[in-house]
């Protein structure tokens, strides 16, 4: 049996102290990002498990201590390259106010810094406890629209197969007993994230082979999605069969969680049948002897300073770039009307859902029998409370009491003042008639660049900031009655797109 040499015994206390100092420095440098992450844990039931993730990771690391008896902590300097990449990713995320990117990057910085100071051999032993920290990142809301769509699709199909007639518009549908809507709470994102987190931990603790662990994690992803479809269908059926006396109030959520709990319990019970007992661990071979305690300590201190310097570079660069921002309030003027278009009163009471813009413009134009609405939201000095591209900024919010989206797609732009692709939305008044249907075109203006892609808009904003040109950005939305939308929007964009482009450029120059 191998014995731990004094040099290894002396290496652990110094390493742990330096890791603690680096983590304290990271916590201070990225305190705003970490506080924002904790705030999401506090206010969102979906991500409340984030408070437990660091505790669980610490317990898992402590549980593995017997494997590290003969392992000496080392230095893994190759990790400074991905560490620098994650610092840069955090900077891009912070400049463009992308919470998911900044929070993921901070956790990656913590994991990489710890692994770099623990060394390759020890990091392999602690791989799962370190990687489990990523479950603290509150990410997943981007899946909501697709999950809502799948839930609505399954519910409508299942109801029709059950002999119940259904009329559907978007995520809203009508059955003979009443109206139903698939809202964000019905997406199943809470079930999915809870199942994935617990299922991954369960797989690690229950199985020893990688194959079984991966299979169970895959099941943990599939089961909550299908269970949510069945839950939505059963709730509508209970409401319909009971004359809307059951499953329509608070019990709607109670039934959902009870059903989910039963399904997950069954999944874990089945998974237990293939549980693997942990095989006795052979004492790992001793690491190569440390040359001298003094030499190792010197390299460790220099490596710690290097890692701390790289990790702290992101917030320092962010401060320098933000100090160069234009602090003035933009002025957005109405684009001059180009014949045959003339300014006219707005023909519907639609208000696009874009929060905290620096300036807005919402007008209508008319040319003969053609009507087009124009909405522009202009953003400057963007931060986490004021940003152009975010999941909550949309033409019509799901909870809008009057309007609903009924379709979405893209079309090719025509003209130099239009992007190559334009986002198309169809919308109407909820359960409205044919004459209350409209079509909208939407694209982004990012400091002179045009795009309809959220990802590209974020990338262009980051590039504009890094190149010293600020973060001025805007969304442009045109809308018209659906019956004449193709003709009206094409004509208006052909005639007025250049004027809109000049208006935005002038706002940026002022």
Residue 257 has pLDDT above 70, yes or no: no
CA-to-CA distance for 454 and 306, rounded, in angstroms?
Answer: 35
Let me know whether 157 and 115 are in one domain. Answer: no
Res. 483 pLDDT band, cuts 50 70 90: confident
Confidence tier at 129 by pLDDT (50, 70, 90): very high
d(CA 341, CA 316): 50
Is residue 503 classed as helix, strand or coil in its secondary structure?
helix
Let me know if residue 49 belongs to a domain: yes
Residue 284 lies in a domain: no
Calpha distance 133→294 (Å, rounded): 33
DSSP strand pairing (178-181 vs 370-379)? unpaired
- Cα distance between residue 206 and residue 357, in whole Å: 50
Q: Do 311 and 386 lie in a common domain? A: no
Output the CA torsion 46→51→56→59 (10° steps). -170
pLDDT digits (tens, 9 = 90+) for 6-44: 455 567 788 888 899 999 999 999 999 999 999 999 988
Most confidently modeled of 36-40, 62-66, 234-238?
36-40
Residue at 127 is within a domain: yes
Q: How many domains does the chain have?
A: 3
More confident residue, 269 or 353: 353
290 close to 8: Cβ distance less than 8 angstroms:
yes
Residue 110 in contact with residue 131, Cβ under 8 Å?
no
Q: Where are the beta strands (DSSP E) in 384-459?
A: 403-412, 421-429, 437-446, 449-451
Give the whole-angstrom CA distance, residue 230 versus residue 415: 47
* 167-169 vs 172-175, strand pairing mode: antiparallel
Lowest mean pLDDT among 238-252, 328-342, 439-453, 492-506: 238-252
| CB-count exposure of residue 70 (10 Å: 0-12, 13-18, 19+) | middle
Answer yes or no: is 328 within a domain.
no
Instruction: Locate 52 and state its tokens.
Output: 């437990």
Measured at the alpha carbon of residue 331, what is the angle toward residues 330 and 337, in degrees to the nearest 5? 140
**445 lies in the same domain as 385:** yes
Packing angle of the helix pair 210-241, 144-161 (nearest 10 deg)? 60
Whether 227 and 366 map to the same domain: the answer is no
| End-to-end alpha carbon distance in the chain | 76
Q: Which helix (H) or strand (E) holds 297?
A: helix 293-323
Q: Do residues 134 and 154 both lie within one domain?
A: no
Looking at per-residue pLDDT, the higher value among 217 and 285 belongs to: 217
Same domain for 259 and 317: no
What pLDDT score does 135 carry? 94
Distance CA 181, CA 187 (A): 11
Domain membership flag for residue 102: yes
Edge-to-edge, what's the strand order for the sheet holding 172-175? 167-169, 172-175, 178-181
Q: Say yes or no: 132 and 43 in one domain.
A: yes
396, part of any domain: yes
User: Does one domain contain both 117 and 154?
Assistant: no
Percent of the chain with pLDDT over 70: 87
The pLDDT of residue 149: 86
Q: Which residue, 370, 399, 374, is CA-closest to 482?
A: 370
Among 477, 298, 502, which Cα is nearest to 417's? 502
424 three-class SS: strand
pLDDT at 5: 46
**Secondary structure (DSSP) of 208-274:** -SHHHHHHHHHHHHHHHHHHHHHHHHHHHHHHHHTTSSSSSSHHHHHHHHHHHHHHHHHHHHHHHTT
Residue 277 domain flag: no
How many Å apart are CA 50 and CA 61, to the nearest integer?
A: 17
> Which DSSP letter does residue 417 get?
T
Q: Is the pLDDT of residue 476 over 80?
A: yes
Question: Is the same domain home to 314 and 216?
Answer: no
**Structural domain that includes position 316:** 6-139+297-323
Would you say 307 and 117 are in contact if contact means Cβ atoms under 8 Å apart? Answer: yes
Chain Cα centroid distance, residue 474: 21
Q: Is residue 469 part of a domain?
A: yes
For 385-442, write each residue's pLDDT tens digit: 888 988 889 998 877 888 888 888 888 766 667 888 899 999 988 765 556 889 999 9
Based on the domain organization, do 354 and 465 belong to the same domain?
yes
The verdict on 393 and 357 lying in the same domain is yes
Helix (H), strand (E) counts: the chain: 14, 11
The four Cα atoms 85, 116, 20, 104 give a dihedral, to 10 degrees, of 30
| Per-residue DSSP letter, 185 | G
How far is the CA of 224 from the CAs of 44, 188, 197, 203, 494, in angstroms? 19, 7, 12, 16, 48
Name the domain boundary from 263, 288, 323: 323
- In this structure, are 130 and 242 located in the same domain? no
Average pLDDT, the chain: 83
pLDDT confidence bin for 4, thresholds 50/70/90: very low
What is the predicted pLDDT for the residue at 210? Answer: 87
In terms of pLDDT, which residue wins out, 183 or 483?
A: 483
Is 307 within 8 Å of 116 (Cβ atoms)?
yes
pTM of the model: 0.79
Q: For the chain, give the number of residues.
A: 510
Three-state helix/strand/coil letters over 42-107: HHCHHHHHHHCHHHHHHHHHHHCHHHHCCCCCCCCHHHHHHHHHHHHHHHHHHHCCCHHHHHHHHH
In DSSP notation, 121-166 reads HHHHHTHHHHHGGGGGS---GGGHHHHHHHHHHHHHHHHHHTT---
């Amino acid at each position: 049996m191998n014995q731990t040499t004094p040099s290894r015994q002396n290496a652990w206390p110094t390493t742990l102290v330096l890791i603690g100092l680096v983590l304290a420095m990271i916590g201070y440098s990225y305190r705003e990002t970490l506080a924002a992450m904790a705030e999401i844990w506090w206010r969102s039931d979906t991500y409340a498990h984030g408070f437990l993730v660091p505790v669980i990771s610490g317990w898992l690391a402590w549980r593995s201590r017997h494997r590290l008896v003969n392992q000496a902590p080392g230095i893994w300097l190759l990790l400074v390259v991905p560490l620098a990449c994650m610092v840069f990713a955090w900077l891009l995320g912070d400049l463009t106010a992308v919470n998911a990117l900044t929070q993921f990057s901070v956790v990656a910085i913590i994991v990489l810094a710890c692994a770099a100071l623990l060394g390759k051999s020890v990091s392999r032993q602690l791989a799962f406890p370190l990687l489990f920290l990523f479950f603290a990142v509150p990410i997943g809301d981007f899946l909501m629209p697709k999950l809502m769509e799948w839930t609505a699709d399954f519910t409508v199909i299942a109801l029709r197969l059950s002999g119940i007639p259904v009329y559907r518009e978007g995520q809203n549908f009508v059955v003979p007993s009443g109206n139903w809507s698939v809202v964000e709470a019905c997406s199943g994102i809470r079930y999915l994230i809870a199942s994935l987190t617990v299922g991954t931990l369960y797989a690690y603790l229950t199985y020893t082979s990688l194959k079984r662990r991966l299979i169970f994690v895959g099941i943990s992803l599939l089961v909550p999605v299908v269970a949510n479809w069945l839950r939505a269908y059963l709730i509508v059926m209970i409401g319909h069969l009971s004359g809307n006396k059951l499953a329509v109030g608070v019990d709607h959520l109670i039934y959902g969680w009870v059903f989910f709990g039963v399904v997950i319990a069954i999944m874990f019970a089945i998974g237990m049948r293939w549980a693997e007992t942990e095989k006795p661990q052979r004492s790992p071979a001793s690491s190569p002897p440390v040359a001298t305690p003094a030499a190792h300590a010197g390299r460790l201190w220099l490596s710690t300073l290097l890692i701390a310097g790289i990790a702290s570079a992101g917030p320092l660069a962010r401060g320098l770039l933000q100090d160069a921002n234009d602090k003035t309030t933009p002025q957005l003027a109405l684009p001059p009307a180009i014949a045959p278009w003339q300014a006219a009163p707005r023909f519907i009471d639609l208000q696009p859902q874009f929060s905290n813009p620096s300036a807005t413009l919402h007008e209508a134009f008319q040319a003969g029998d053609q009507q087009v609405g124009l909405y522009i939201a202009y953003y400057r000095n963007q931060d986490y409370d004021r940003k152009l591209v975010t999941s909550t900024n949309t033409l019509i919010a799901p909870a809008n009491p009057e309007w609903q989206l009924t379709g979405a797609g893209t079309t090719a732009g025509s003209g130099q003042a239009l992007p190559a692709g334009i986002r198309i939305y169809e919308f109407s008044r909820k359960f409205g008639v044919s004459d209350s249907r409209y079509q909208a075109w939407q694209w982004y203006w990012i400091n002179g660049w045009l795009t309809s892609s959220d990802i590209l808009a974020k990338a262009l904003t980051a590039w504009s900031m890094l190149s010293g040109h600020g973060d001025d950005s805007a969304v442009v939305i045109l809308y018209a009655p659906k019956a004449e939308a193709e003709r009206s929007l094409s004509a208006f964009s052909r005639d007025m797109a250049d004027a809109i482009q000049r208006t935005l450029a002038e706002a940026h120059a002022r």
